[in-house]
Amino acid sequence: MSDQSEQLLRRLETLEEMPTIPVVLAPLLRYLEQPLDTLEVQQVVDLISQDKSLAAQCLHLANSPLYGRWHNVDNVRSAVVALGLQRMRDIAVSCSVLKLIPKGKAKLDPMVFWEHSLGCALVSRQFARRIGFADPGKAYLAGLLHDIGIVAELSVLPVEFQEAVEFARTRGVPLHEAETRTLGFTHCDVGKIVAERWHLSPDLVAVLSCHHDPQSAQQNRDLVALVSLSDLLCRMCGLGHGYIEERQVNFLEEPGFTLLLDECPSLKGFDWARFTFELEAYMEEVHRLVSVLYGGPQ
């Protein structure tokens, strides 16, 4: 890494503008690590209800078919009861994370960024279920947070990051490749700093720091690989970073595929075409959800 890149990374590590972990997120993440049967409904309801705008946003997600709910739930308690604790935690974590980008400061459209993050969370969860991955809930969370390094870049290095985005956009190349060229490091390097500062669990640290190079992960390579493939699929299906990556991808040749195959043998006969077509429905609903969350009730 060049001196300049090191200087930039140091700025990220030391500056106070670094995003702080949302108030509700830390306890929610702690809960997530606990076995489901030790959780009490009231605890989760209280936690979410502390923040009225968070609670209202959670209800929007709770009423979306993507979270499995078809009938109107109108308060946090009935949402928790109807959807179950696992889903409600996913929703609450999503909403608290979605509040992260300071409005007006971002050069990258926050809606596009959160569409990608929410899309990747949902796709990771669905993909996990399909291939018999052990923990779909963890896959959801990892998908949601995988690009959180970008939030830090937007906050601390908005000008430099914008150059990387422009580089990627004009050449139609993946964002991390553009970052390597223009910044000398990627949102994975930055994600690692954020993850450690937020005291995220080691498996999430691995995802945030290695999802563009799953083989470099020291642990939880299967989770890293799963998110890496879901991320790529989202980007190829129009749920990317707001521009088109002009390239061809063969998922069977992706490093993440080989890694994940060891863990989930059913991946061998996976119907990539069908899974890709299914995402068409996700796209529509993710666009709608994020626009409701950001634009308020329409």
Residues within the interface to another protein (CB under 8 A):
49, 52, 55-56, 59-60, 63-66, 70-76, 172, 233, 236-238, 244-252, 271-274, 276-281, 284-285, 288, 292, 297-298
Closest approach, Cβ 113 to another protein, in A, equals: 19
Closest approach, Cβ 73 to another protein, in A, equals: 8
Closest approach, Cβ 118 to another protein, in A, equals: 15
Closest to 163 in 3D by CA, of 7, 8, 52: 8
Distances (CA, A) of 261 to 51, 114, 123, 212, 235: 42, 29, 18, 17, 21
Question: Are 211 and 224 spatial neighbours (Cβ–Cβ below 8 Å)?
Answer: yes
Question: Are 285 and 240 spatial neighbours (Cβ–Cβ below 8 Å)?
Answer: no
Measured from the CB atom, is 202 or 238 closer to another protein? 238
Please give the Cα distance from 169 to 180 (Å, whole number): 14
Measured from the CB atom, is 74 or 196 closer to another protein? 74
291: Cα separation from own chain's centroid? 17
Closest to 76 in 3D by CA, of 97, 64, 60, 65: 60
Closest approach, Cβ 284 to another protein, in A, equals: 5
Measured from the CB atom, is 21 or 23 closer to another protein? 23
Closest approach, Cβ 85 to another protein, in A, equals: 18
Please give the Cα distance from 19 to 198 (Å, whole number): 10
Closest approach, Cβ 250 to another protein, in A, equals: 5
- Phi–psi pair at 146, nearest 5 degrees: -60, -35
Closest approach, Cβ 273 to another protein, in A, equals: 4
Measured from the CB atom, is 55 or 85 closer to another protein? 55
Measured from the CB atom, is 21 or 73 closer to another protein? 73
- Phi–psi pair at 39, nearest 5 degrees: -90, 145
Neighbours of 16 (CB within 10 A): 6
Question: Are 55 and 87 spatial neighbours (Cβ–Cβ below 8 Å)?
Answer: no
Q: Which amino acid is it at 209?
A: S
Measured from the CB atom, is 21 or 56 closer to another protein? 56
Measured from the CB atom, is 34 or 250 closer to another protein? 250
Neighbours of 130 (CB within 10 A): 17
Longest dimension (CA), the chain: 56
Measured from the CB atom, is 38 or 248 closer to another protein? 248
Closest approach, Cβ 95 to another protein, in A, equals: 12
